Structure 1
Amino acid sequence: MYTVGHGKQVDEPVAALPAEALAAFHEVTVFLQVAPWNGHPFMRERPDSPMRTRTFGEGGAGMVTYLIVEYRRLVEIIHVVWYA
């Protein structure tokens, strides 16, 4: 399992998520604990890059961008956005 963390820059977007998005965001954090490499590469040209994205919510209305630090078994969420 991986530890999931995030910096202060993520606190505000997470706090601004609508109520219907919170459960989906929690599901994404659980996914990141178990299988972070199953996210999509942030840059298609570098498919093995540790920087990844994952959508969440109904219709993929939210997206999380994260960095995998494999040697520490850490996933650092660096950006969260909600489009709806």
Structure 2
Amino acid sequence: MYTVGKSKQADEQITALPVEALAAFHEVTVFLQVAPWSGNPFVRERPDAPMRTQTFGDGGSGMVTCLIIEYRRLVEIIHVAWYG
């Protein structure tokens, strides 16, 4: 299991999420605790890189960008976007 942390910038972005996005965001953070490598690579040409993206919400209305620090079993959320 991984620990999920958030940058200060991500905290501000999470605070700005609309109410309808909060449950989906919570689900994606739980998912990141158990399977962070299942997200898409941030840079398609580097599929093994530790920077990943994961969509959330209805139809993928939101996206989390995170950095996986494997030796610490840590997933650091660095950016959260909501397009819904």
Output the TM-score relative to the length of structure 1: 0.98
1:69 and 2:69 correspond: yes
Structure 1 residues without counterparts, runs of 5 or longer: none
Output the TM-score relative to the length of structure 2: 0.98
Q: Which residue of 1 aligns with 2:42?
A: 42
Q: Report how far residue 11 of structure 1 moved.
A: 1.3
Identity %: 79
How many pairs were matched up? 84
- Pairwise mapping of residues 11-50 of structure 1 onto structure 2 (< 5 A)? 11-50=11-50
Which runs of at least 4 in structure 1 moved beyond 6 Å after TM superposition?
none
Alignment deviations for residues 3-61 of structure 1 (CA, whole Å, 9 cap, x no partner):
00011111111011111100000000000000000000000100000000000000100
Structure 2 residues without counterparts, runs of 5 or longer: none
Q: Quick one: which amino acid aligns to residue 26 of structure 1?
A: H
The CA RMSD over aligned residues, in Å, is 0.5
Distance 1:61 1:40 in 2: 15
Distance 1:50 1:12 in 2: 23
